[in-house]
């Protein structure tokens, strides 16, 4: 199974991806997490950190390399859940070529929907584990102990790009560069719209129903 989770930053892709990973037992591949890992390990330079922190898109070639390498791993043979990739039509074409070469198909592209007001609220309250990338929210997904990850005990932090001045830019970048990917998948009849203005359990059920067809 190959599921692509699509939607504006803050719509809940990462949270649902983690739930799908548990249910279907296939890896959750987040291009954002892979890129942040490059920065944390000091493999990438300040340029990459600055692009991410300001909310702009990283150049396609670097994204192809890190996502492509990850998808070639044995663990991904049974399928994978993509979160945050593709983010441009060129990246969607890259993914198409990749799955064709593997003689497989994308199962479904989940188009998560929410109002701008909702995503701004979600991003502003989001906290992330500095160790295992688990996602929390100050109001909606609280950890048992404030500031500490339930899963690994790591410190919860606010991402630099979840700060108010960057959130606006990320939404603009989404509208200009990422939203055209919806048309690309609509033409291929792979798209399923999911309303995310409801409790998380219901969003998850709707997503599973769309994937299982
Ligand atoms: P995310 O964790 O998906 O919100 O991604 C965080 C940041 O990483 C984005 O704002 C971009 O700077 C970068 N990024 C993640 N995925 C991609 C992608 N597919 N293409 C380009 N840049 C990306």
Neighbour-count burial for 120-154, b at 16+ CB within 10 Å, e otherwise: bbbbebbbbbeeebbbbbeeebebeeeeebeeeeb
Dist. CA 194 → ligand 1 center (Å):
21
Dist. CA 13–CA 6, nearest whole Å: 7
The total number of structural domains that make up the chain: 1
Ligand 1 pocket, mutate which of 30, 37, 58 (most atoms under 8 A from CB): 58
Compute the distance from residue 200 Cα to the ligand 1 centre, in Å.
Answer: 23
Whether residue 82 contacts residue 4, with contact meaning beta carbons closer than 8 Å, is answered with: yes
Q: What is the CATH number of the domain that holds 63?
A: 3.40.50.300
Residue 79 lies in a domain: yes
Atom of ligand 1 nearest to the CA of 9: 4
Cβ(162) – ligand 1 distance below 6 Å: no
Residues 32-77 have pLDDT tens digits of 999 999 999 988 878 999 999 999 999 999 999 999 999 999 999 9
Question: Which domain covers residue 17, as residue numbers?
Answer: 2-114+166-212
Q: Which pLDDT tens digit goes with each residue over 143-170?
A: 999 999 999 999 999 999 999 999 999 9
Q: Is 42 left (phi over 0), alpha (psi -120 to 50) or beta?
A: left
Residue 95 lies in a domain: yes
Answer yes or no: is 159 within a domain. no
Residue with CA nearest ligand 1 atom 19:
85
Q: Is residue 136 part of a domain?
A: no
Q: Does 67 reside within a domain?
A: yes
Within a domain: 33: yes
Q: Say if 75 falls within a structural domain.
A: yes
Which residues does the annotation mark as catalytic?
A: 13, 87, 126, 159, 170
**Contact by Cβ (8 Å): 29, 82:** yes
- 72-95 per-position pLDDT tens digit: 999 999 999 999 999 999 999 999
Are 17 and 81 in contact by the 8 Å Cβ rule? The answer is yes
Nearest ligand 1 atom to alpha carbon 55: 10
Residue 153, domain member (yes or no) = no
Cβ neighbors of 125 (< 8 A, separation 6 or more) are: 137, 138, 139, 140
Can you give the pLDDT at residue 158?
Answer: 96
């Amino acid at each position: 199974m190959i599921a692509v989770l699509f939607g504006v930053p803050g719509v809940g892709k990462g949270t649902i991806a983690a739930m799908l990973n548990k249910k279907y037992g296939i890896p959750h591949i987040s291009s954002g997490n892979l890129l942040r890992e490059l920065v944390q390990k000091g493999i990438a330079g300040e340029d990459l950190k600055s692009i991410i922190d300001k909310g702009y898109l990283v150049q396609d070639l670097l994204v192809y390399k890190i996502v492509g390498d990850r998808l070639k791993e044995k663990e991904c043979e049974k399928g994978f859940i993509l979160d945050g990739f593709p983010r441009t039509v060129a990246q969607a074409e890259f993914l198409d070529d990749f799955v064709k070469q593997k003689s497989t198909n994308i199962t479904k592209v989940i188009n998560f929907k929410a109002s701008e007001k909702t995503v701004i609220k979600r991003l502003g309250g989001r906290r992330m584990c500095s160790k295992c990338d688990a996602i929390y929210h100050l109001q909606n997904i609280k950890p048992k102990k404030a500031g500490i990850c339930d899963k690994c005990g790591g410190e919860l932090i606010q991402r630099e790009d979840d700060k108010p001045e960057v959130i606006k830019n990320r939404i603009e970048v989404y509208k200009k560069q990422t939203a055209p990917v919806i048309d690309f998948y609509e033409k291929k009849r792979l798209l399923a719209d999911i309303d995310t203005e409801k409790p998380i359990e219901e969003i998850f059920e709707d997503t599973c129903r769309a994937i299982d067809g």
